[in-house]
Amino acid sequence: MWEILFRYQDFVAINKPQGISVHRSGGEVSLTATLAAQLGVEKVWLLHRLDKQAGGILLFALNPQSAAVLAAQFAERKMKKTYLALSDRKPSKKQGWIKGGMEKSRRGMWKLTRNMENIAVTRFFSIRISEKCGCSSLSHIRVRHIS
């Protein structure tokens, strides 16, 4: 059972745990099929993806019309994804940009390259977490995927 964070008539937001693949691979059960069964609908449309190693919020459309509208909003950059990360090391920069081409790597992964084909742009900011929270050596890194 997937943790439903929000459900509206046209879309649903779930919490995808770390280590779960968005797309079916090998003998794994499809996330979209199990979510559709859980919601009692015939099909759901994945609006974006998260890498297997990342946990976070996934959005699914509940009908083809909503899928088209929401997918267009992602494509036109009207809707953006933000990633949050924790690190036990101080980042070398407080903020900056990561720009480069993306190409397929091993086991279906992607890697950043120096070429400018299939470009991805990501902006990041880092903030030191207060020692009051008991995690004195952690940094909070906010990453905003631009393209």
C-alpha to C-alpha distance for 2 and 56, rounded to whole angstroms: 12
Give the tokens for residue 72: 């267009």
C-alpha to C-alpha distance for 111 and 103, rounded to whole angstroms: 6
Query: Residue 88 catalytic?
Result: no
Quick check: 48 pLDDT over 70? yes
Locate the domains of the chain by residue range.
1-79, 81-147
Mind spelling out the 3-state secondary structure of 73-125?
HHHCCCCCEEEEEEECCCCCCCEEEEEEEEEECHHHCEEEECCCCCEEEEEEE
Question: Among 51, 74, 102, 139, which one carries the catalytic annotation?
Answer: 51
pLDDT band at residue 130 using 50, 70 and 90 as cut-offs:
low
Q: pLDDT digits over 78-93, tens only?
A: 887 777 777 777 778 7
Give the tokens for residue 86: 């924790």
Residue 137: what residue type?
A: S
Please calculate the CA angle 51-74-105 and round it to the nearest 5 degrees: 30
Quick check: 69 pLDDT over 90? yes
**1-79 carries CATH number 3.30.2350.10:** yes
